[in-house]
């Protein structure tokens, strides 16, 4: 079973362009579920550039599907997560000047602080996932931290400039997924996945969840949210069943 977590941040990006009420990411969350999403992912950034606290609270109250809160591993966000109680918290690195999350969390550099934050969440019954690069040393650190899951950073794969580079990045993802699975970690993946590149990632054994935002919201503007989600669901399911992706890789 491969779950699709739809990241609705960029619905909020369009709303924040005018600081008004529309489009409402809470409505998008409901439509994503109708379109076949298994869960909703939101990133409440410290600068509140898209998702607002109100969005997270309302999604939590109105959606019964899995809620995954992406958050920086800092005290203020942890207190918010403990109050809202998402099903899952994904710890991500955060820099104010970045356009989007760039690269995974460096667990080797921040093992002590990430462990402390992760365990506050785990003790409250929240599943903790760590967004990391597909690197064996990062996977081993996630295991030491006793996280529930890792989310493999697929941005480097998505942005690969050649077929060979894409193949190399895919192999790193496959190897990291296998190692994590052998260590008892659940495996998720995300960042930069779209309708063309998702299939090889969906085919990686042991990957249980993909978190996808920008490509779905971009298509939703043109074809509607339900359609955009169900088309992604279709592409993922094709990838998982091994159909029609060799041409991409």
190 lies in the site for ligand PXP, by CB under 6 A: yes
**Minimum distance from residue 93 beta carbon to ligand PXP (Å):** 9
* 97 phi and psi angles, rounded to 5 deg: -85, -5
C-beta separation of 30 from 11 below 8 A: no
**Minimum distance from residue 92 beta carbon to ligand PXP (Å):** 5
**Minimum distance from residue 216 beta carbon to ligand PXP (Å):** 7
Q: Which of 70, 88, 174, 209 is the catalytic position? A: 70
Q: Which of 10, 43, 50, 188 is the catalytic position? A: 43
Q: Which 27-66 residues touch ligand PXP, going by CB under 6 A?
A: 43
Site for ligand PXP (CB under 6 A): which residue of 7, 78, 135, 156?
7
Q: Which stretch binds ligand PXP (CB under 6 A): 52-60, 184-192, 196-204, 240-248?
A: 184-192
* Among 11, 52, 17, residue whose Cα is nearest residue 30: 11
Give the integer Cα–Cα distance in Å for 114 and 105.
9
Which parts of the chain are beta strand (E)?
3-7, 39-43, 66-72, 88-92, 127-132, 149-153, 186-190, 207-212
- Annotated catalytic residue 43: yes
- Annotated catalytic residue 188: no
Nearer to ligand PXP among residue 109 and residue 242 (C-beta): 109
101 lies in the site for ligand PXP, by CB under 6 A: yes
* Among 107, 117, 102, 94, residue whose Cα is nearest residue 150: 107
Binders of ligand PXP: how many residues, by CB under 6 A? 19
**Minimum distance from residue 29 beta carbon to ligand PXP (Å):** 15
- Annotated catalytic residue 46: no
Site string for ligand PXP, 69-98 (x = CB under 6 A): -x-------------------x-x------
Q: How far is CA 57 from the centre of its chain?
A: 19
Which parts of 60-115 are beta strand (E)?
66-72, 88-92
Packing angle, helices 225-240 and 25-34, rounded to 10: 50
Q: How far is CA 119 from the centre of its chain?
A: 20
* 55 phi and psi angles, rounded to 5 deg: -65, -45
Q: Which 119-178 residues touch ligand PXP, going by CB under 6 A?
A: 131, 151
How many CB atoms are closer than 10 A to CB 52?
16
Which residues lie near ligand PXP (CB under 6 A)?
Answer: 7, 9, 43, 70, 90, 92, 100-101, 131, 151, 190-193, 211-215
Catalytic residue positions? 43, 70, 191
């Amino acid at each position: 079973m491969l779950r699709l977590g739809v990241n609705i941040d960029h619905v909020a990006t369009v709303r924040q362009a005018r600081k008004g009420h529309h489009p409402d990411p809470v409505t998008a969350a409901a439509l994503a579920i109708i379109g076949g999403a298994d869960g909703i992912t939101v990133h409440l950034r410290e600068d509140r550039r898209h998702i607002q606290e109100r969005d997270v609270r309302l999604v939590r109250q109105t959606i019964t599907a899995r809620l995954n809160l992406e958050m920086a591993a800092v005290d203020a966000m942890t207190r918010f997560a403990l109050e809202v109680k998402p099903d899952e918290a994904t710890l991500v690195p955060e820099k104010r000047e970045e356009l989007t999350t760039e690269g995974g969390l460096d667990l080797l550099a921040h093992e002590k602080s990430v462990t402390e934050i992760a365990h506050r969440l785990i003790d409250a019954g929240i599943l903790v996932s760590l967004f990391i690069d597909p690197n064996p040393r990062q996977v081993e650190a996630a295991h030491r931290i006793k996280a529930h899951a890792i989310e493999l950073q697929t941005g480097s794969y998505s942005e690969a400039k050649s077929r060979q580079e894409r193949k190399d990045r895919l192999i790193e993802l496959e190897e990291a997924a296998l190692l994590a699975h052998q260590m008892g970690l659940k495996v998720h993946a995300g960042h930069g996945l779209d309708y063309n590149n998702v299939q090889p990632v969906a085919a990686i054994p042991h990957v249980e969840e993909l978190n996808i935002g920008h490509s779905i919201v971009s298509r939703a503007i043109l074809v509607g949210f339900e359609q955009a989600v169900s088309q992604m669901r279709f592409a993922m399911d094709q990838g998982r069943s091994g159909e029609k992706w060799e041409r991409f890789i």
